[in-house]
Chains A and B, each alone.
Chain A
Amino acid sequence: MSLTGDSPLFPSGGAHVRAVNDEFHGDLLEVSMGPHHPSTHGVFRMIVTLDGERIVKLKPVLGYLHRNHEKIGEGTSYLASMPYTDRLDYLNAMTNNWAYALSVERLGGLAVPERAEYLRIILAELSRLQNHVCLAGFLLQDTGASGTPLMYAFRERETILDLFESLSGSRMMCNYQRFGGCRVDASPEWLGQVSTLVDGFGAFLDEFEQLITGNEILMSRTQGIGVLKAADAVAAGITGPLLRAAGVGYDIRKVDGYGLYNRFNFRVPLGAHGDTYDRYMVRILEMRESITILQQALRDIPTGPIMDPKAKLRGFRPKPGESYGRIEGPKGEIGFYLISDGSANPYRYRVRPPSFVNLTVLEDLCLGHTIADSVVILGSIDIVLGEVDR
């Protein structure tokens, strides 16, 4: 492809009008949205072809944040990859850590003590709460509810990040899980703080829903917009809240029962229409279910060790073999596929990122809608570019 002339990828003068004689009457306008566009949640670029205000073609351009994550993982020790996984989906370091630790534990045959499993569940559900609350804020910002819901959401997210910081030392780059357990034990005071937060979180959700869920403008902007059919979602390998909003009851916490999720009593909310509003509501309902999981975990958490005594920090060399560890992250199935050749670093290190796979249906969701809707649809997919580009 030539880099000059009227190549669609690299228009010489930025967005420009082109006369195209095809079945769409009138001129099509090609707009390059991003990579530095605030609505794209990072460095993501959409080349949108418009007929009037309607989208007739959408081409996502990825890779601006590519930083060789998988190759770095193959060159360093198993332990040294752990802090890098924080930087994949940088909103959910705790669940990324867990998925990677799970995969390495399967490779090395390590058992996780019960208290560590409970701590992991508590941290993963807190992570889900702050991811969904963040998503709700950003999604409403994208619809034009400028500032207010986002600030309310961030106020609540900050209390959860403070808890992460006082436990792991960092708000977002937690680097908390280890193979065979967790790095530091939670004090009773910390668990008490979590319990206070969980008790108050329902009231916050009530307030947030009163603020915006019944809002007529939000409904007209999101209902019937970006409908994802269940069959299409399954065919494209969509996971997480996107899939459940399309009405498919698939939650890895229920399907795999990894960790100790089998012991917990919770429901999986499903959507009926698969539109943007359903995707928003599924997340709100998931937060309410996370609260019940957290309450059960805080009630039942046992005392005891938090590390497998067989686990060692340095010089970890698993037997040759392969493993795949996946968990239900807040954005969908986050998985790590590892092949060991018996040396100190993995032979192959592969990440299965939920955001990237979920992004593949973006064009299907956007076709026929307006350019303003494409921003909202992209917001409802919930991508983090650190994970999409890796």
Chain B
Amino acid sequence: MLGSGLLQGLAVTAKNFVGSFHDPKRLTTVEYPEKRTVLPEAYRNFPFLVSEKAEDPMGTLRCVACQICEKECPPQCIYIEKSKDKKPDATGKMQIYPAVFLIDSSVCMNCQICVEVCPFDAIKMDQVFEIATQERFHALLLDREQLAKPNSYFHSIRPSEAAEVDGRLAAERKVAEEKAKAAALAKAAAQAKPVAPKTEPAPGAASPKPQNPA
């Protein structure tokens, strides 16, 4: 019958109209910004720099200014200047640190490649998406003070990934400490025995590797 297809379609719209009053599956929007959906843990947008301690963010940045992210960034939105001097990092080891670390978030395309290539777990993706500003150029060029966020914040947005990273870093530090201890022992033993000192120290007794690239 001509028109039966039309009537069937109208039955569907009527069902959806009535359903939108009681069926949450048929009412999918929320009243932003008063109400918000829960972001999934994997959600990413802009990068931030992880610092170990909230009270001293610049002193405890994990970043050692190796510039790998700067090289790999597809839209080239990262700019790093290495420091001339060295500062102790969170574990007390002397490290180079980023004197300048800039990310142009108007260029960043949220691809997460900087996070994947970072061997030090120093840069991670944030979940703050409301970063609109009145100023067009400099307000979106973020420096290291604006980028640094403590590890506790990373735990609050991505608990499982942060726990995994912390566990891995702790294990690596333990290995490094044991190596250093063994090296110190070997050195002490070599000094105690003045005869044939050249064959004694193991080649691994040199500086232990700080971290393995993930």
Q: Compute how far the CA of A27 lies from the CA of B105 in the bound complex, rounded to whole angstroms.
A: 53
- Contact indicator B72/A80 (Cβ below 8 Å): yes
Instruction: List residues of B (14-46) whose CB comes within 8 Å of A's CBs.
Output: 16, 26, 28, 40-44
Stretch from B51-59, B82-90, B107-115, B177-185 forming part of the interface with A? B107-115
B-side contacts of A84, CB under 8 Å: 74
Residues B72 and A79 in contact, CB atoms below 8 Å apart = yes
Interface residue tally for chain B (C-beta within 8 Å):
30
Interface string of B107-145 (1 = CB under 8 A from A): 001111100110000000100000000000000000000
Q: Which of A81, A183, A211, A219 contacts B9 (CB 8 A)?
A: A211
**A155 touching B28, Cβ below 8 Å:** yes
Is B2 a contact partner of A216 (Cβ separation < 8 A)? yes
B178 to chain A, nearest CB (A): 27
Contacts of A183 in B (CB 8 A): 116
Q: Does B5 sit within 8 A of A, measured CB to CB?
A: yes
CA distance A184 to B164 in the complex (A): 14
Interface centre among A82, A148, A170 (most CB of B within 10 A): A170
Residues in A whose Cβ lies below 8 Å from that of B42: 165-169, 184
Asked if A83 is at the interface of the complex by the 8 Å CB criterion, the answer is yes
Q: What CA separation (Å) do A363 and B89 show in the bound complex?
A: 66
Interface residues as binary, B59-78 with A (CB distance below 8 Å gives 1, 0 otherwise): 00000000010001110000
Interface contact B111-A83, CB-CB below 8 Å: yes
Q: Is the CB of A81 within 8 A of B110?
A: no
Q: When A and B form their complex, what is the total count of cross-chain residue pairs whose Cβ atoms lie within 8 Å? A: 80
Q: How far is the CB of B123 from chain A (nearest CB, A)?
A: 15
Count of chain A residues near B, Cβ 8 A: 38
Q: Within the complex, what minimum Cβ distance (angstroms) separates A246 from chain B? A: 25
- The reply to whether A165 and B43 contact each other, CB–CB distance below 8 Å, is yes
Kindly identify, within residues 70 to 115 of chain A, every residue whose CB is under 8 Å from any CB belonging to chain B. 76-77, 79-84, 86-87
Q: Is the CB of B111 within 8 A of A214?
A: no
In the bound complex, CA of A216 to CA of B8 (Å)? 11
- Report the separation of the CA atoms of residues A219 and B5 in the bound assembly, to the nearest whole angstrom: 10
Tell me the minimal C-beta distance from B117 to chain A in angstroms. Answer: 6
CA distance A162 to B72 in the complex (A): 28
Not counting A211-B8, A212-B9, a sample of 16 additional A-B residue pairs whose C-beta atoms are within 8 angstroms of each other reads A76-B74, A77-B72, A79-B113, A81-B74, A83-B109, A83-B113, A167-B42, A168-B42, A169-B40, A169-B42, A170-B110, A175-B111, A210-B9, A215-B9, A313-B117, A314-B72
A-B contact pairs, 6 of them (CB 8 A): A80-B74, A158-B28, A166-B41, A166-B43, A168-B42, A216-B3
Report A's interface with B, CB cutoff 8 A. 76-77, 79-84, 86-87, 148, 152, 155, 158, 162, 165-170, 173, 175, 183-184, 207, 210-219, 313-314
Report which B residues bind A (CB closer than 8 A). Answer: 2-6, 8-9, 11-13, 16, 26, 28, 40-44, 68, 72-74, 109-113, 116-117, 125
